[in-house]
Amino acid sequence: MTVQPLDISGAFLISSRSFSDERGAFFEAYREDVLTEVLGYQPKIVQTNYSTSHRNVLRGIHGAAVPPGLAKFVTCVRGSMLDFVVDLRTGSPTFGAWDMIVLDGRGASSVYVEEGLGHAFVALDDDTCVQYQLSELYRPQDVVTVYPLDPEIGLPLRLPDAPILSDRDAAGPTLREAVERGLLPSYAACLALRAARAQPPVGSDAPVAS
């Protein structure tokens, strides 16, 4: 398994080697030790969700308030999708920028999205199934939603038909409106959360970097 940083800091592509024979295929989807070595802290997973989507369904852009924050480990287990990471952290050098990865159920890849980043995807096939592993329990009051068709963000959907959105996503504020309303997490708060997670637990004999 390999972990590759994406262009947006705090987002990573996780890829595994798939082993195939006459029975089918096998690959590792998640390795805590490998991800920990890259992140500098042990990832936390407390909840796993699944969604199924018709072709052209667009979900997102979704993030969460920091604190508490909500990291996601996203895997396409069936179908295919365009997966987007959007930097929603005010004050970030890449604020408002995005990165895109194609994920599908035949590949052996996932995306890890740290706290403070936004996530969205559009299903390219009917019955596309996506697994989300979350670092915190889902709390609706902490959810941050940004309008996914905001031209200022400019996600390259390249769809033959108009995307299908939930009422909540369709009514989400633009990036500019979310800033004006104080809805977005700050880059400083996200860095502080990351630094705190990288510290050894109290009473640990592990050395602290100077």
Could you list the active site residues? 62, 132
Residue 166: half-sphere exposure toward Cβ, Cα within 13 Å? 13
Surface-to-core class of residue 136, CB atoms within 10 Å of its CB (0-12 exposed, 13-18 middle, 19+ buried): middle
Inter-residue contact 189 to 116 (CB < 8 Å):
yes
Q: 60: which 2 tokens?
A: 């997102």
Residue 95: half-sphere exposure toward Cβ, Cα within 13 Å? 15
Q: Return phi, psi of residue 33, to 5°.
A: -65, -40
Beta strands in the chain (DSSP E): 2-5, 11-15, 19-21, 24-26, 47-53, 58-64, 72-78, 80-87, 98-104, 109-113, 117-123, 128-134, 143-145
Rounded CA gap, 49 and 51, in Å? 7
